[in-house]
């Protein structure tokens, strides 16, 4: 379970660098949230180009990054609980994409003046915020690579594996599967495929004994086989697999390294 002492922010960097946060920093982070808002259905929370004086931490549910052009919408990113959805809006003030809530979603609003105070007074916590934003970039690069390299079954398997791992990192996914508000239409959009092609691919994955997708519920039958067909290496998620940071970003780690 996430840290019960921090009900709004307890999943931030869980299974990655939360161990590097001091109790003081956890309290500071929890105190940054000015208010919480809950959405239902499919709602555009932030429009492209809209001026922003706050950033959002995702507390419950899923959010998508989308770009609309020529009447078509492309999903270019996915956020799960514990993610700082738009921390980069602190620097950019306007996003080049929309942020959309799917299903029941609760976010915590963090005013930018409070983030400014963190930058000035809590440099170690600010560095961990920077890490979380760069993690989004790592995930985005993997999306580009896999969509360009894999065939249909591999693409679908990759996105299923990624969501599965990311949810397990924040204790919302299980070995046997996970629940999402997504439809095959969402999955087709993420993979750059038609819904008909995704439907056929889902059937192939089911008949191969790897997984099932039932009204948003993903049931994992053979996770190892699914990861193999997706060429899935979770290292880019920075929780395991050779890129984990360990204690390198613990408070005072740099000073201890220099003293050796």
Residue-level pLDDT, tens digit, the chain, 260 residues: 667 899 999 999 999 999 999 999 999 999 999 999 999 999 999 999 999 999 999 999 999 999 998 889 999 999 999 999 999 999 999 999 999 999 999 999 999 999 999 999 999 999 999 999 999 999 999 999 998 899 999 999 999 999 999 999 999 999 999 999 999 999 999 999 999 999 999 999 999 999 999 999 999 999 999 999 999 999 999 998 888 888 888 887 765 554 44
N residues, the chain = 260
CA 116, CA 43: separation in Å to the nearest integer? Answer: 29
What are the φ/ψ torsions at residue 196 (nearest 5 degrees)? -65, -45
CA 244, CA 18: separation in Å to the nearest integer? Answer: 12
Q: Distance between alpha carbon 21 and the CA centroid of its chain, in Å?
A: 19
CA 144, CA 105: separation in Å to the nearest integer? Answer: 26
Structure tokens at 241: 């697999």
Positive or negative torsion for Cα 24, 20, 116, 133: negative
Angle at 240 between CA 11 and CA 102, to 5 degrees: 40
Q: What is the pLDDT of residues 93-114, one digit of tens each?
A: 999 999 999 999 999 999 999 9
Q: Per-residue b/e over 176-188, b at no fewer than 16 CB within 10 Å? A: ebbebbbebebbb
Please state, in angstroms and as integers, the Cα–Cα distance from residue 176 to each residue in 214, 218, 221, 222, following that order.
14, 8, 7, 9
Domains defined for the chain, CATH in brackets = 18-146+242-259 (2.60.120.10), 151-230 (1.10.10.10)
Burial of 246 (0-12, 13-18, 19+ CB in 10 A): exposed
């Amino acid at each position: 379970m996430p840290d019960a002492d921090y009900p709004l922010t307890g999943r931030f960097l869980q299974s990655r660098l939360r161990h590097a946060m001091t109790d003081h920093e956890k309290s500071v982070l929890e105190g940054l949230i000015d208010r919480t808002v809950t959405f239902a259905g499919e709602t555009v929370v932030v429009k492209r180009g809209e001026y922003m004086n706050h950033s959002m931490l995702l507390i419950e549910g899923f959010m998508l990054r989308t770009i609309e052009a020529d009447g078509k919408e492309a999903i270019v990113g996915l956020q799960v609980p514990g993610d700082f959805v738009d921390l980069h809006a602190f620097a950019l003030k306007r996003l080049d994409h929309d942020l959309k809530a799917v299903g029941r979603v609760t976010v915590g609003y963090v005013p930018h003046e409070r983030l400014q105070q963190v930058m000035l007074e809590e440099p170690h916590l600010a560095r961990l915020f920077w890490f979380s934003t760069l993690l989004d970039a790592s995930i985005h690069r993997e999306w580009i690579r896999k969509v360009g390299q894999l065939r249909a079954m591999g693409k679908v398997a990759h996105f299923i594996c990624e969501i599965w791992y990311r949810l397990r990192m924040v204790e919302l996914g299980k070995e046997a599967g996970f629940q999402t508000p997504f439809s095959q239409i969402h999955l087709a959009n993420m993979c750059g495929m038609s819904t008909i092609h995704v439907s056929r691919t889902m059937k192939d994955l089911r008949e191969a004994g790897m997984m099932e997708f039932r009204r948003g519920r993903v049931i994992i039958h053979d996770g190892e086989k699914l990861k193999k067909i997706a060429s899935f290496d979770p290292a880019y998620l920075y929780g395991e697999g050779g890129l984990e940071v360990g204690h390198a970003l613990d408070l005072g780690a740099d000073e201890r390294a220099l003293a050796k």
